[in-house]
């Protein structure tokens, strides 16, 4: 049986029922786990033996689902977190603490940007922000002796820009730091960043992986490829003894599993951003149908993008599969089978027309979410960023005309009909 294809991994990886055991990954809704000897419990607490003892650190449902996603990404280990925010926080904080420095591309999700630029700063972490298309020389200048990681998104939210992953990996590795990539938008169905040199991959499972707008969640997957011990002075948390576990050294004891084991046994233990087993179950259902769903989101989005591009009321459309898109060549290299269902576009019209156009949409709803079954639209200048002037918007990297559109699972013909009638109605006032 071919077990390498993404659809097969999504259904089977990470869980093999025992004879007579539940076919579907069971929800282990239990805070704690029972043991018969005091010795064994002690060994669990010393990380001498693998096993469950308290769901704030680990739960079997979560672990099966994380292993499934890790297999789909081509990693060696994974963990679920309570949100995408928690995943990006843990992935970076696991190796970059107070006194450390990290580099992030500027073109990332607003919530992540805020975490790095505002909150990390308060925690004593120095963060440099750089455009992902900056020259190699500009990237060179961003590195410092205490730089611990480079962070980027495969496909940016909301701009849908494609990252040159191999170039980012080369830059990071030439400075002896890992490349951490948020792969939320393409999902492992369309892009597996580890194959192009990324070391650690994160997800907001809230988006396509859940895919039904039902549960907030996140995940981290480690490739197991980064040679931490080669840079032991830079990563003392992984490469020197941990006093909170009797002087155990993660890289020595756990090898390729060091990164995820440290994140679980220190960060989950202390911050407790665990996913609930119930939500992990929804994540699993999402993984099982992920390939089928994202291919539909993507093919419908391409139809809508082509319709919009050919409509006289539309000024421009950004969707990497369009031949006119500035990132089309990168898309063909890194995600040749598709990107996602999100695009950005702008109208040849004033804001009043734009507002009327949105108000006339019936099937497409105005909503600040993306990547689930419902098609939705957002105009940042009129919604999320409405307090800013056009000039301030441009400074913040938001085109005042930009509208973000996330194509759901409805029939694309119905969506195109909805856009057509809204254009017509808006023209008549």
Ligand X SMILES: *Cc1c(COP(=O)(O)O)cnc(C)c1O
Residues that bind ligand X (CB under 6 A): 83-85, 109, 111-112, 153, 157, 182, 184, 204, 206-207, 216, 218
Distance CA 298, CA 291 (A): 11
CA-to-CA separations, 244 to 45, 194, 229, 269, 286, in angstroms, rounded: 10, 31, 20, 11, 36
Q: Which helix (H) or strand (E) segment is 404 a member of?
A: strand 403-406
How many residues appear in the chain? 429
Least separation in angstroms between residue 109's CB and ligand X is: 4
Least separation in angstroms between residue 376's CB and ligand X is: 13
**Residues 295, 338 contacting (CB under 8 angstroms):** yes
Residue 201, judged by CB atoms within 10 A of its CB (0-12, 13-18, 19+), counts as buried
Least separation in angstroms between residue 280's CB and ligand X is: 14
Other Cβ atoms less than 10 A from the Cβ of 18: the count is 6
Distance CA 284, CA 132 (A): 32
Which residue's CB is nearer to ligand X, number 207 or number 262?
A: 207
Least separation in angstroms between residue 257's CB and ligand X is: 24
Which residue's CB is nearer to ligand X, number 75 or number 218?
A: 218
Which residue's CB is nearer to ligand X, number 61 or number 184?
A: 184
Which residue's CB is nearer to ligand X, number 216 or number 388?
A: 216
Distance CA 340, CA 269 (A): 35
Distance CA 358, CA 333 (A): 35
Which residue's CB is nearer to ligand X, number 112 or number 276?
A: 112
Which residue's CB is nearer to ligand X, number 68 or number 207?
A: 207
Grouping H, G, I as helix, E, B as strand and the rest as coil, residue 132 is coil
Least separation in angstroms between residue 337's CB and ligand X is: 20
Residue least distant from ligand X (Cβ): 84
Which residue's CB is nearer to ligand X, number 153 or number 164?
A: 153
Distance CA 179, CA 103 (A): 10
Least separation in angstroms between residue 157's CB and ligand X is: 4
Least separation in angstroms between residue 69's CB and ligand X is: 14
Distance CA 58, CA 429 (A): 57
Grouping H, G, I as helix, E, B as strand and the rest as coil, residue 381 is coil
């Amino acid at each position: 049986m071919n077990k390498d294809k993404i659809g097969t991994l999504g259904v089977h990886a990470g869980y093999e029922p025992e004879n007579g055991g539940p076919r579907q990954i069971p929800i282990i809704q239990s805070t704690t786990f029972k043991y018969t000897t005091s010795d064994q419990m002690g060994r669990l607490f010393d990380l001498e033996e693998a096993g469950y003892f308290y769901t704030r650190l680990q739960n079997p449902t979560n672990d099966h689902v994380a292993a499934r996603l890790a297999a789909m990404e081509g990693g060696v280990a994974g963990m679920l977190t309570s949100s995408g925010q928690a995943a990006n926080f843990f992935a970076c904080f696991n190796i970059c603490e107070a006194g450390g420095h990290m580099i992030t591309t500027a073109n990332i999700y607003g919530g992540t940007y805020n975490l790095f630029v505002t909150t990390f700063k308060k925690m004593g972490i120095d963060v440099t922000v750089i455009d992902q298309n900056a020259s190699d020389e500009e990237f060179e200048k961003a590195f410092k002796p205490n730089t611990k990681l480079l962070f980027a998104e495969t496909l940016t939210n909301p701009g849908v820009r494609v990252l040159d992953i191999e170039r980012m990996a080369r830059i990071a590795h030439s400075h002896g730091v890992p490349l951490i990539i948020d792969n939320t938008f393409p999902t492992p169905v369309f892009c597996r960043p580890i194959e192009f040199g990324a070391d650690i991959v994160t997800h907001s499972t809230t988006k396509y992986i859940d895919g039904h707008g039902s549960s907030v969640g996140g995940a981290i997957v480690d490739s197991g490829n980064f040679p931490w011990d080669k840079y032991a002075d830079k990563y003392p948390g992984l490469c020197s003894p941990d006093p909170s576990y009797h002087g155990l050294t993660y890289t020595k004891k756990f090898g390729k599993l060091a990164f995820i084991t440290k994140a679980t046994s220190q960060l989950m233990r202390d911050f407790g951003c665990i996913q609930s087993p119930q939500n992990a179950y929804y994540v699993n259902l999402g993984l099982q149908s992920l390939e089928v769903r994202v291919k539909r989101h993507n093919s419908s989005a391409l139809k809508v993008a082509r319709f919009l591009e050919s409509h006289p009321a539309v000024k421009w459309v950004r969707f990497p599969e369009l031949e006119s898109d500035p990132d089309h060549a990168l898309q063909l290299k890194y995600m040749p089978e598709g990107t996602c269902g999100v695009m950005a576009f702008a109208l040849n019209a004033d804001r009043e027309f734009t507002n009327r156009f949105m108000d006339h949409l019936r099937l497409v709803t105005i909503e600040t979410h993306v990547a689930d079954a419902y098609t939705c639209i957002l105009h940042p200048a009129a919604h999320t960023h409405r307090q800013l002037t056009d000039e301030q918007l441009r400074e913040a990297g938001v085109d005042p005309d930009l509208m973000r559109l996330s194509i759901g699972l409805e029939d694309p013909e119905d969506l195109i009909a909805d856009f057509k009638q809204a254009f017509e109605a808006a023209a008549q006032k």
